[in-house]
Amino acid sequence: MNKSSSEKNKNKKRILFFIGCIVVGFLGGVFLGKTISLKSIGFRPIDFFIILISLYVWMFISINIHEFGHFIFGKKAKYKLIGYSIACFNWFYENGKVKFYLKFNKEIGGLCCMMPTKESTRKDHLLFISGGVIFNFISILLMLCGLFLMPSGKVLLKGILITGIVVTSLLAIINFIPIKSVGIATDGNILWSILRNEPSGQIYLKILDVTNKLRFGVSFKDLDLNFDIKSSEKVDVTTIQIVLYEYFKALDLDNIEEVKNNIEFLENHIDIIPEYSRPGFYNEFIYYYSAIELREEKAKEYFTKAKKLLLNDKDINGRRTLASYKLFIENDYEEAKICCFDGLSVKDKFPFKGQALLEEKLIMKILNKVNGGNNNE
């Protein structure tokens, strides 16, 4: 799929959704106006627009209640928080410390990213996955109680609360049923596929198992990545995650041909990757086109997209990426060397110990190039 056409389709869907909400609200208002006297129950014309605005406010609130549910149930399952987003406010862990930055994520209103801190069980995964929907249903029950306890004269407040119940119910139902949206599985899709022991559920569990092994120090070259998914016609975020792991394994094994194949696959399907996850992929594109393929125009293209975050990315992965760009594209040996040593100094703080081994190996290769270049000058 062409990236620009995919973005246009997403924008069209957003526009149509908002127009649909306005049309439904307008028709609903006309219907109520024809069937009952809104004025007689204290409903003013301005109240209709207030409720319409509350529709979008409730969408934001419901999404963040959902993400908070994942956080609470993730903590109960002994998961570790990696990152959390509320609108444009973003927190994430880097080198063992919490880092904050402002960035508006177009595709999400909130995000909770966690990972296991031990050998996770099937029950732990199910607990974390179901947390968001459970919190949505709890909030619906609380709003229903508030609606019944509210005095009869509070027409506007009741209308706003009913809007909240409807919006939250829709979000909960969509996340509970097993569907996929733009290549991303809903919580229900993952939950039911695991409970039914379906192939997609088993793949999801295997990805978590691989991630756990990386966290506990198993290197990429020693991982079993026996997934035959690239031949599948349906490419989704799960497929992308597997190919990314295969790319890292190929790097670890110095299999440049396989590295090239994986990079091409990831580039061709970059539109499937949510916008908030793309900087990590841009890093690998920068590294590949700087240190391996040596294509300056491509390296600069992705560096432009990732520059703001990459320059502030102080973990070993970010420093390795920047070092490769500084050395091979900008011919700045001194800056490349500084990036390498900065990366090595925080190696032990990287959450995935197995990946840190690969990062160290790649940085040492860059350092060898730096030292070789300096000796030749």
Query: Three-class SS of residue 100?
Result: strand
Q: State the Cα–Cα distance between residues 109 and 34, nearest whole angstrom.
A: 36
pLDDT at position 246, please? 94
Under 8 Å between Cβ of 47 and 156: yes
Structure tokens at 126: 């199910």
* 19 or 305, higher pLDDT: 305
Q: State the Cα–Cα distance between residues 216 and 199, nearest whole angstrom.
A: 26
- Residue-averaged pLDDT of the chain: 83
- With both helix axes pointing from N to C terminus, report the angle between 122-149 and 45-76 in degrees, rounded to the nearest 10: 150
Q: State the Cα–Cα distance between residues 358 and 250, nearest whole angstrom.
A: 11
- Output the CA angle 358-363-365, nearest 5 degrees: 100
Give the Cβ contact number of residue 232 at 10 Å. Answer: 10
Residue 312 has pLDDT above 60, yes or no: yes
* 181 or 62, higher pLDDT: 62
Tell me, rounded to whole angstroms, the distance of Cα 134 from its chain centroid. Answer: 21
- Output the CA angle 6-313-215, nearest 5 degrees: 90
pLDDT at position 297, please? 95
Strand partners, 185: 180
pLDDT digits (tens, 9 = 90+) for 261-288: 999 999 999 988 888 889 999 999 999 9
Tell me whether strands 110-116 and 180-181 are parallel, antiparallel or unpaired.
Answer: unpaired
Q: State the Cα–Cα distance between residues 71 and 202, nearest whole angstrom.
A: 23
Type of residue at 204: Y
pLDDT at position 317, please? 96
Under 8 Å between Cβ of 272 and 287: no
pTM higher than 0.75, yes or no? Answer: yes
Under 8 Å between Cβ of 129 and 190: yes
Across 87-96, average pLDDT:
80
Residue 358 has pLDDT above 80, yes or no: yes
Alpha-carbon separation of residue 221 from 122, 159, 248, 265, 283 (angstroms): 26, 58, 8, 20, 20
Across 129-147, average pLDDT:
93
| 176-185, 214-223, 298-307: range with lowest mean pLDDT | 176-185
Query: Three-class SS of residue 372?
Result: helix
Give the Cβ contact number of residue 348 at 10 Å. Answer: 11
Q: State the Cα–Cα distance between residues 125 and 122, nearest whole angstrom.
A: 5
Q: State the Cα–Cα distance between residues 172 and 122, nearest whole angstrom.
A: 22
Residue 180 has pLDDT above 90, yes or no: no
Under 8 Å between Cβ of 245 and 220: yes
Q: Which run of H or of E encompasses 315?
A: none
46 confidence band (pLDDT: 50, 70, 90): confident
Type of residue at 48: F
73 confidence band (pLDDT: 50, 70, 90): very high
237 confidence band (pLDDT: 50, 70, 90): confident
